[in-house]
Structure 1
């Protein structure tokens, strides 16, 4: 059976829920996410809103999201412990989940956007650290 591309909110939710199910079990990412996220249903809803906006250009407006602020807070809560390895682990799981579930232009865009976002976020987090 051929895989379909991401085309609606249900697809985005499937991607986000499957992906973060794997993140929560990951030996390096799980402790970070499980230690910080206190309401997983709310967190998954918010992340689905974000990815729906990015991938389908629908859903809530951009003013609702500030990924840099959120990731800087996580870095502070982990004692400035976020590393490139964490972002690499995150991207590897993201790509694997996408490849498992979907194929097509939107799925490819999800990979490219995540790759760019990870690079920018890590650079901005690193620049914001106390030295």
Structure 2
């Protein structure tokens, strides 16, 4: 299920505060003055984007026998064996191309408040850039 910004914040904050799970306990690595949420929104959007591309590619493989056969041949699978993403390597140029196409067609409203979309080169297209300027213990935010 898709989370709201508030739900994501609460879940992420709880993970940071969990002493019992050392694998995801980041408190020891974060300076007290550093906001632990700085990159969490972008990371969340990145994971959603990758999940979208993978799901679309898996659906393509299930629906397109030619794509599946070519991917199986390229992977060196025995004739007649079905290709799955478990067989995927970056040597599968057809699958890499298909995933990249799905990334280029990604477009959704992210939890950063910006639309998540990519240009033809696969670079994230960002419409708003915030510039922070600190002067004499105060700050201002300027949109470009």
TM-score relative to the length of structure 1: 0.31
Richer in helix (by share): 1
Q: Which has the higher contact order (CA 8 A, sep 6+)?
A: 1
TM-score relative to the length of structure 2: 0.29
Richer in strand (by share): 2
Bigger Rg over Cα: 2
